[in-house]
């Protein structure tokens, strides 16, 4: 069957006066005293439902049409006409309504046409895409993902799928999920009595990755411009509105590039995807603006038009110390910044996005490039008004002798980083990159407060339903 999308009908892609059929689900039914029914039929292709006007002379008007409730599925055939009322431009004068599926018990249907709490919708993860907010979030999420792929593709970046199951524990094993096929009731043991992971599926202990960065660096050091876009995992027991155990990350990596190039790329990327979102999904964004966060359109437009301010960590500390504001966490050179500091800088001091860079080396990772001062590394965080940190990145240490010194300082075994060191031994190049948590991007773009509502089936402590 060739199915017409309601988004195309509402966009005027079909000629008025002709007969069409649409398929979808009933959002609402209203009966007039004059003996006609108004059906709002949606198919998820856009925010709006289309109105079908159903006369009472249809064969199944009493037996079926008048029994339609929210969530029933139908095929509506009729003449496409211009809508006399305000709101939508088109509606359908129905000549036939075929019921594909009723709702078993409308009184207990979880998605009845009323406002539901986000907490309730989360429990109904298999049905929440049927609601206004569930559908709008999914379409926005798709638009942002498509725009990200398009942005990198147009700029000549190659998408790299870095592995999810990893045998290297160089990323911080404490917060990783173990992946295993060992029989937990009959664990194989070595002679010494340890669990014998040589017997496990991969012949060693394996985990779910927390970042594709180290892997994707190998591809940047061959193809120059690459990015990952895939799932990553954290076994952190953080029951907050900002953490997920399973989430998607975007990690571009550029060869022959310094920190400033990564910052430029990040700024360009954010502007590109927000512009695409405003252009492609005005319907859903109007909904978020009205019902979720009245600042969301302004916020995105501000990011699009702003020049992101570059600021050194050292200067930021001075600003925070002298601003006269009392912070919960006191500030001094060397401390990591908290959300309160980041938001003050972006929202109050600058009034726009800030690229904060050159952090003290002691609060950053071993792979970040040591600056000439010997105290700071070429790391950056991008802070955005309304959310704080949205992107973190760095120039990578490409000098083998400096890298080795950093590994030693941090008591890391160079043997565990043999392949990573090889990139520095064989034709090393300056390179930089950053990571963007995709769900945080969706939350920022929609104003959704809890990150669990930005992904179809959230995974978090004690939460893995569906």
Contact 246, 459 (CB under 8 A): yes
57-96 residues in contact with its own copies (CB under 8 A) are: 71-73, 75
Question: Of the two residues 24 and 392, which places its CB atom closer to its own copies in the complex?
Answer: 24
Instruction: Give the residue among 162, 13, 138, 25 at the shortest CA–CA distance from 80.
Output: 13
What's the min distance (Å) between Cβ of 371 and its own copies? 17
Cα(225)–Cα(216) distance, integer angstroms: 10
Eight-class DSSP state of 57: T
Q: How many residues does the chain have?
A: 466
In this structure, what are the phi and psi dihedrals at residue 28, rounded to the nearest 5 degrees? -145, 155
Q: Which of 142, 239, 290, 329 binds its own copies (CB under 8 A)?
A: 142
Question: Of the two residues 181 and 305, which places its CB atom closer to its own copies in the complex?
Answer: 181
Cα(265)–Cα(273) distance, integer angstroms: 12
Cα(134)–Cα(55) distance, integer angstroms: 32
Q: Is 415 in the site for its own copies (CB under 8 A)?
A: no
Q: Which of 159, 238, 286, 304 binds its own copies (CB under 8 A)?
A: 159
Cα(376)–Cα(242) distance, integer angstroms: 28
Nearby residues of 87 by Cβ (< 8 Å), 6 or more positions away: none
Six token digits for residue 118: 């986000």
Q: How far is CA 352 from CA 307, 310, 341, 438, in A?
A: 8, 11, 14, 20
Q: Which of 37, 51, 138, 376 binds its own copies (CB under 8 A)?
A: 138
Question: Of the two residues 175 and 347, which places its CB atom closer to its own copies in the complex?
Answer: 175
356-385 residues in contact with its own copies (CB under 8 A) are: none
Cα(113)–Cα(68) distance, integer angstroms: 13
Q: Which of 50, 245, 259, 354 binds its own copies (CB under 8 A)?
A: 245
What's the min distance (Å) between Cβ of 221 and its own copies? 8
Question: Of the two residues 201 and 333, which places its CB atom closer to its own copies in the complex?
Answer: 201
The count of residues interacting with its own copies (CB under 8 A) is 111
184-243 residues in contact with its own copies (CB under 8 A) are: 184-185, 187, 195, 201-204, 206, 208, 215, 218-219, 221-225, 230-231, 233, 235, 237
Q: Is 158 in the site for its own copies (CB under 8 A)?
A: yes
**Going residue by residue from 11 to 50, which x/- string records binding to its own copies, judged by CB under 8 A?**
------------xxxx----------------xxx-----
271-330 residues in contact with its own copies (CB under 8 A) are: none
């Amino acid at each position: 069957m060739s199915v017409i999308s309601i988004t195309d009908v509402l966009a005027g892609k079909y000629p008025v006066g002709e007969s069409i059929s649409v398929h979808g689900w009933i959002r609402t039914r209203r009966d007039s005293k004059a003996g006609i029914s108004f059906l709002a039929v949606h198919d998820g292709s856009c925010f709006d439902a289309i109105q079908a006007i159903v006369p009472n002379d249809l064969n199944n008007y009493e037996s079926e049409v008048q029994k339609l409730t929210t969530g029933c599925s139908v095929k509506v055939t009729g003449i496409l006409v211009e809508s006399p009322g305000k709101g939508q431009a088109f509606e359908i004068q129905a000549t036939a309504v075929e019921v594909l599926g009723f709702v078993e018990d409308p009184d207990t249907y979880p998605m009845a046409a009323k406002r539901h709490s986000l907490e309730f919708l989360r429990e109904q993860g298999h049905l929440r895409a049927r609601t206004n907010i569930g559908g709008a979030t999914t379409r926005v999420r798709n638009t942002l993902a498509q725009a990200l792929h398009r942005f990198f593709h147009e700029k000549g970046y190659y998408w790299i799928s870095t592995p999810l199951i990893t045998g290297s524990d160089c990323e911080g094993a404490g917060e990783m999920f173990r992946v295993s096929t060992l029989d937990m009731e009959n664990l194989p043991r070595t002679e010494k009595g340890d669990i014998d992971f040589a017997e496990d599926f991969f012949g060693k202990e394996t985990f779910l990755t927390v970042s594709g960065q180290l892997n994707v660096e190998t591809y940047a050091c061959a193809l120059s411009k690459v990015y990952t876009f895939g799932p990553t995992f954290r076994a952190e027991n953080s029951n907050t509105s900002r953490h997920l155990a399973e989430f998607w990350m975007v990690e571009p990596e550029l060869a022959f590039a310094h920190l400033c190039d990564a910052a430029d790329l990040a700024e360009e990327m954010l502007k590109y995807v927000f512009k695409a979102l405003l252009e492609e999904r005005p319907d859903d964004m109007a909904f978020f603006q009205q019902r979720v966060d009245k600042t969301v359109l302004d916020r995105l437009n501000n990011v699009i038009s702003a020049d992101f301010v570059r600021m050194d960590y050292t200067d930021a500390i001075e600003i925070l110390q002298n601003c006269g504001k009392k912070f919960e966490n006191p500030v001094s050179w060397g401390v990591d910044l908290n959300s309160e500091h980041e938001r003050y800088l972006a929202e109050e001091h600058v009034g726009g996005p800030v690229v904060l860079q050159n952090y003290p080396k002691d609060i950053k990772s071993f792979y970040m490039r040591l600056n000439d001062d010997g105290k700071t590394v070429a790391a950056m965080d991008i802070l955005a008004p309304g959310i704080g940190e949205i992107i973190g990145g760095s120039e990578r240490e490409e000098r083998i002798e400096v890298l080795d010194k950093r590994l030693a300082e941090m008591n890391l075994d160079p043997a565990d980083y043999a392949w990573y060191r090889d990139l520095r031994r064989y034709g090393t190049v300056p390179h930089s990159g950053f990571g963007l948590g995709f769900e945080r991007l969706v939350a920022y773009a929609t104003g959704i407060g809890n990150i669990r509502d930005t992904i179809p089936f959230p995974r978090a402590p004690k939460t893995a339903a569906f």
